[in-house]
Amino acid sequence: MMSSLFSMFDPTAFLSIQFNWIIMNLTLILIPAVYWKSYSRPTKTIMIVINTLNKEFNSLFTSKFSIKGSSLISISLFMLIMVNNVTSNFPYTFCSSAHLSFSLAIAIPIWMSIILFYWMNLTNTMLAHLVPTGTPPMLMPLMVMIEMTSNIIRPMALAVRLTANLIAGHLLMALLGNTFNINTSFWVIILAVQTIFMLFELMVALIQSYVFSVLMTLYSSEIS
């Protein structure tokens, strides 16, 4: 039973090629406006979302290194994770966001580049962040270890949060699907619960992509 439940997260392999990971490239096909012949409704919706996120992410950046275009990474993160999260809720699709190899591959390189950039350009500020203001001298070595550990585990916490929420939701949807039987007298109730939970999972997919990109932005902005 457990192996069959978790088998939904296994990518389909053919000739040693895991084809289900190709679903991540849907972002490159659906999002850019240059691939649309006319200014369609999906393009208009995407532009409204991008402009709204651009204003919000720009308000989160407080560093003097924040220049025009700083929010592009956060917006790209949101779009990539959102497309993967939303499409994975439909039948015969693959949830790449439910794999740590996907979320860690996004979180760790971006976080490491931010940390290295600040350590190379704001060394004194980064050293000052290791010891909060008002810390007693005896606790300073301990606070340095705590702050260093906090900085190291942040990308892993982001990745685990995204993966765990999606895995839990997909497993519950699979369990509800296994209980559906049209020959029973209460199949209408099960169908209604499944529909409500499907809508709930779609909201979770949007919220998790937003939370991931916002926390990445906040973590990078609070350092400076």
pLDDT digits (tens, 9 = 90+) for 36-95: 666 677 777 778 888 888 888 877 766 555 566 677 888 888 888 888 888 777 777 777
Q: Where are the domains of the chain?
A: 7-223
pLDDT of amino acid 19 = 62
**Would you place residue 1 in the very low, low, confident or very high pLDDT band (cuts 50, 70, 90)?**
very low
Highest mean pLDDT among 19-23, 31-35, 42-46, 103-107: 103-107
Q: How far is CA 142 from CA 123, 146, 148, in A?
A: 20, 6, 10
- Output b/e per residue, 185-202; b: 16+ Cβ within 10 A: eeeeebeeebeeeeeebe
Tens-digit pLDDT profile for residues 197-218: 888 888 888 888 888 888 888 7
